[in-house]
Amino acid sequence: MQQNNVRPESMERVVTPELANAFIEEQVREIRAQVGDKKVLLALSGGVDSSVVAALLIKAIGKQLVCVHVNHGLMRKGESEQVIEVFRNGLDANLVYVDATDRFLDLLAGVADPEKKRKIIGNEFIKVFDEESGKLSGISFLAQGTIYPDILESHGVKAHHNVGGLPEDMEMELVEPLKLLYKDEVRVVGKALGLPDEMVFRQPFPGPGLGVRCLGAITRDRLHALREADAILREEFDKCGLADKVWQYFVAVPDFKSVGVRDNKRYEGWPAIVRAVNTVDAMTATIEEIPYDVLHRITDRITHEVEGINRVLLDLTPKPIGTIEWE
């Protein structure tokens, strides 16, 4: 399975705990055979794919795996803390945590163009990861959370897509145990490995993180407001059951203000734009209907609890015409 990038037609869908456990046992054998007593390096973002790969490799080779988690300052609230809790404290992983928040935000200061922001974030991530890997010795393998749609899209829709987002000239052999699985199968495997639901069923999150949801030039105060508003949206969706129904939901905060009233005084604040979409393949997306009582509760909490935000707007645009992300 490691040597072939084409999923056999006869391959059974990994959709039950029994099939997931069989897959895990097979991959543990193959990983051990491939790696031997050598060390493996993994960029652990905390997303579904990299988290499942990490848990699988820890089961197979333990401390031979070195996980590097780079916090670029654009994570959602509590995400880096969860990576540390689950992997370092829970699974006793060999985890290197790098808080590079200031480094990234300093480079992004004053940059409004979305593509420039993406390139700065992507390039700097590679630099930080490269620096950290350079401090390690005896690394022979690079693990990646490649899944089957990544391989399919790399030949078409995402021809530019470097699956792991890492330098192609790194002289390490790849370990990609999930590369023949679809996303739903990865989640089943993650559950079988004992990862928490909030990690296994985490909604998709772009590589540049909140950098493409803090619209225009990123400022620390607006980024903080975005992170807090997004956390409230996720909390309220969890409470009302929408988190299990909606494929992706988030807040975007644009770089403009409007007049509002707080404490009987006029003040200017940013709007928080709520987006909630459902999709099968991310090529098209429909809008999830959010009950008005939920919207009212979200609006009340965000406008009262988040400094700097004075309006909540709802994005009703399907894809097409709108893309899922704003930038």
Element (H, E) at 94: strand 94-99
Tens-level pLDDT at each residue, the chain (327 residues): 344 688 888 888 999 999 999 999 999 999 999 999 999 999 999 999 999 999 999 999 999 999 999 999 999 999 999 999 999 999 999 999 999 999 999 999 999 999 999 999 999 999 999 999 999 999 999 999 999 888 886 654 333 334 344 555 667 899 999 999 998 999 999 999 999 998 998 888 888 999 999 999 999 999 999 999 999 999 999 999 999 899 999 999 999 999 998 888 899 999 999 999 998 877 899 999 999 999 999 999 999 999 999 999 999 999 999 999 999
Whether the Cβ atoms of residue 75 and residue 46 lie closer than 8 Å to each other = yes
CATH class of 213-314: alpha beta
319's tokens: 């894809």
Structure pTM? 0.87
Distance from C-alpha of 111 to C-alpha of 278, rounded to nearest angstrom: 31
User: For 17-200, CATH number?
Assistant: 3.40.50.620
Question: Does 17-200 match 213-314 in CATH topology?
Answer: no
The residue ranges of every structural domain in the chain are 17-200, 213-314
Q: Which of 280, 246, 265 is nearest to 310 (CA)?
A: 265
In order, the DSSP letters of 89-124 are: IIS--EEEEEE-HHHHHHHHTT---HHHHHHHHHHH
Q: Counting Cβ atoms within 10 Å, is residue 309 exposed (0-12), middle (13-18) or buried (19+)?
A: buried
Residue 166 amino acid letter: L
Q: Name 42's bridge partners.
A: 67, 143
